Amino acid sequence: MSLIPILRAALNLEYRICLRTPHRHTQSHNSVVCVFSPPAQSQESCVKTVVRSCAECIKSGPYCAWCKLLVKSTFIWPHCISCTYRPAAPHTNAFRIRLIFLDFPDQPWTFTFKFKRAEGYPVDLYYLMDLSYSMNDDLQNVKSLGKDLLKALRQITKQSRIGFGSFVDKVVLPYTSTNPKRVQKPCPDNERFCQPAFGYKHVLSMTDNEILFNKRVSEQAISGNLDVPEGGLDAIMQAAVCGDKIGWGNSTRLLVFTTDAGFHMAGDGKLAAILEPNDGRCHLDAKMLYSKSSEMDYPSVGQVMQKLVENNIQPIFAVTKDVEPRLKDIIPKSEVGVLTSDSSNVISLIQNAYRNLSSNVIVTHDDLPDHVTVMYTSNCPNGDLPSIRGTCDNVGIGKEVEFNVTVTAHKCLNEQSFLIGPLGFREKIRVNLTTRCECECDDRKDSNHQHCNSQGQVSCGTCSCNKGFVGQKCECKIGDKSEAELRQACMPVNGSMCSGQGECVCGVCHCSPGEDGRSIYGRFCECDDRSCPLSRGQPCGGRGRCSCGTCNCNPGYEGDACDCRKSDNRCRTGNKVCYGRGNCVCDVCNCTVGYTRPFCETCPGCPALCERVASCVECHMDERKGNCLVCQGVTYREEPDLKEQRLCKRRGTDGCQMIYSTKQLQGVEQYEVIFRNKECPEPPDLRLIIGGTFSGVALIGILLLLALKAFIHMRDLKEFRRFENEQKKSKWNNPLFKTATTTVQNPNFGGD
């Protein structure tokens, strides 16, 4: 009897696995067990995989099955026969039921549970209030709130309790003044009743006594701090994790958070040099004060959200308008309401928030193991279509909600568990999850079983061979070769075992019969007689023989599929076929790379003819025979009086100009070159070069001497003119000098 598929572990063979969903029926056959049931599919599909044992069959996916029965019949690929299976039993569970189920890797498993809102379910409400100075008028209203608040809660359920706590901020700079006088009285001087600054204080545990609530709240006084944001997240964290001191019961837990300002978050503590992160634990001292307020940083919103969810606390934020948008989408299963300036609307706000919270059912899970995914589908009672989210809105009291939970384990797991339940409720379903990754086989312990050629024992329908033997029936003695080497001999490079179309037995591929009667052959079973191109619906058009994907055509036919008669009439130019630069197939030229149809005559992308043969012409003219081997397809002819219109002129490496013409002949790289002697320039006249050089040097020397002479003359002329100017400016008469003789004129002397 065969299943899907009948797998045999012979040299770790690769098999073609047929996937087909069995019809849901039962079969009484004690020795055949399908390890798991594939999901419903309407079509058959086949894949390739490597399956060596029953355990690997399980791990390979949900579509593999294993037969524990010894299979003695010949294995035939096309046979994909359905197998028996064990259908998964449906589970519908109430809360607090311990659920255990078995599953296989990547096999989705679905169960259903129902949730029903109970009437009169207990409610615990903890009122957490900001006592910074801006909330002074709000505190006066809250002092008389106890009776009305309990009355409003008892309209919902008779089992109601309330508690009270307060907060301001950390008593460190820059949040609160650390001046001793300001710590004791952080309020303005005109305020008579003011209590010392504090972080968070638990005032009253859960009670149903409204008189006690009013008395304890009436004893509270306002306080103050410096900055606008408050330490509200510190207070919510302690209220959530200090359950034994708050007095939370087995009930719907509500935390009403009232403030008129924002809140500090994780990282803000660095402003006060507080670097230790918040540990999410309870730190209330004997006076019910948060003892680590000045030592630990504020918690993050994510930390607060996690602790609220873990302790099934649903927050109601009664805040001012400017704070409300920041909280709306941050914390799940929460409500936000806008608080009036004096908190006069707090009771109606709590009533509306509770109504919304209790009618909104959100299913989630905790402690989910690694490599496990959970998906939810909800069937809500309000007539909406099934949703892929685990959420139902507007669920009234007494209404039942149904959720389908799909669990998938992606790896083999030991027994692990996780919790599933609605947010805000303590009742959970514990799901114990384990995967079956080993087969349960009751084989007789026989180390020399006849089926295994007395060289191994049967394990889950296959032979587990003794040392030194391998094979489907331990028929191969490996000798000096290892099993891996024998297996490698059946694998082509970068290929699979026997190309996925046969079995490897002692290092040789035994090909299996192909589909539709085709013959599979080759060293690696890589060939079959129907893999060739089709023509007229037949391999090779029925005009040739298919040989491993290539058609060997009958005489008179050619083409990939032997689909045309052999002829070259349309490929000829003169007596040449395809100009000697290609093959004629089906009367069409298949040209050598570069040449174009129809006759492979032109090569648009090839270099010009002159360039193609230039090196060969130079090689021939210089008679460098050793370097001319690549020019064997070129013939040369010398004509001294070459006078063609289109001449090639190229200068060689020796400086001489080669003049030639070229013509391409039929065939590939066949040319004819007609050339004349090279034209080399006259050698230079050494006398002219020497004479010219000498004359030039002499002329340059004379010019330099003349320039130097002119420079010296100009400088001397300039100096002489400057000397003359100084001579003209000099004075030689001394105004203090008086001559030694004096001439006196006698007026009476007449001159006679």
Percent of the chain with pLDDT over 70: 80
Residue 744: what pLDDT?
79
- CB of 15 closer than 8 Å to CB of 53: no
Superfamily of domain 94-117+362-435: ntegrin, alpha v. Chain A, domain 3 (2.60.40.1510)
For the whole model, what pTM was predicted? 0.48
Q: What's the CA gap between 315 and 224, in Å, rounded?
A: 24
Least confident of 18-27, 241-250, 427-436: 18-27
Any idea what DSSP says for residue 571? G
Give me the pLDDT at residue 707, please. Answer: 93
CA distance 69 to 6: 9
SS (H, E, C) 320-360: CCCCHHHHCCCCCCCEEEECCCCCCCHHHHHHHHHHHHHHC
Q: Is 478-528 in CATH node 2.10.25.10?
A: yes
Neighbouring residues of 411: CB distance < 8 A, sequence distance ≥ 6: 105, 371, 435
Most confident of 37-46, 121-130, 189-198, 614-623: 121-130
Q: Is domain 123-360 given the CATH code 3.40.50.410 in the classification?
A: yes
pLDDT at 83 over 50: no
State the pLDDT at residue 708.
93
Cβ neighbors of 220 (< 8 A, separation 6 or more) are 131, 139, 143, 166, 195, 203
Q: Between 234 and 504, whose confidence is greater?
A: 234
Span 706-745, pLDDT tens digits: 999 999 999 999 998 888 888 877 766 777 777 778 777 7
Q: Look at residue 687 in the predicted model and tell me its pLDDT.
A: 82
**Widest distance between CA atoms in the chain:** 194
Six token digits for residue 58: 């399980």
Provide the residue ranges of all domains of the chain, joining segments of one domain with +.
1-93, 94-117+362-435, 123-360, 478-528, 529-565, 609-675
Cα distance between residue 138 and residue 480, in whole Å: 92
DSSP state for residue 290 in the 8-state scheme: B
Residue the block writes with tokens 């699979």: 496
By C-alpha distance, which of 254, 256, 251 is closest to 158?
251
Alpha carbons within 13 angstroms on the beta-carbon side of residue 405 total: 26
Region 599-612 average pLDDT = 76
The reply to whether domains 94-117+362-435 and 123-360 share a CATH topology is no
pLDDT range class, residue 91, cuts 50, 70, 90: very low
> What secondary structure letter does DSSP report for 579?
G
Topology at the third CATH level for domain 529-565: Laminin (2.10.25)
Q: Is the pLDDT of residue 6 over 50?
A: no
Q: At what angle do helices 210-218 and 146-154 cross, to 10 degrees?
A: 150
Q: What is the pLDDT of residue 3?
A: 28
CB neighbours (10 Å) of residue 9?
23
For 428-467, give the DSSP string: -EEEEEEE--S--------TT-GGGTTSEEEETTEEEEPT
Place of tokens 């948008």: 325
Distance of CA 273 to the CA centre of its chain: 38
pLDDT 10s digits, 659-675 = 787 777 777 777 778 77
Looking at every residue in the chain, the average pLDDT score rounds to 76
CA–CA dist 81, 5 (Å, integer): 8
| Model confidence pLDDT, tens digit, residues 684-706 | 778 888 888 888 999 999 999 99
3-state secondary structure of 576: strand
Q: What local confidence, expressed as pLDDT, does residue 89 receive?
A: 36
Q: What pLDDT is stored for residue 292 in this prediction?
A: 92
pLDDT band (50, 70, 90) for residue 462? confident
**pLDDT tens per residue, range 620-663:** 777 765 467 667 778 788 777 776 657 787 777 777 878 787 77
Burial class from Cβ neighbours inside 10 Å (0-12, 13-18, 19+) for residue 10 reads buried
Question: What is d(CA 595, CA 601) in angstroms, rounded to the nearest whole number?
Answer: 7
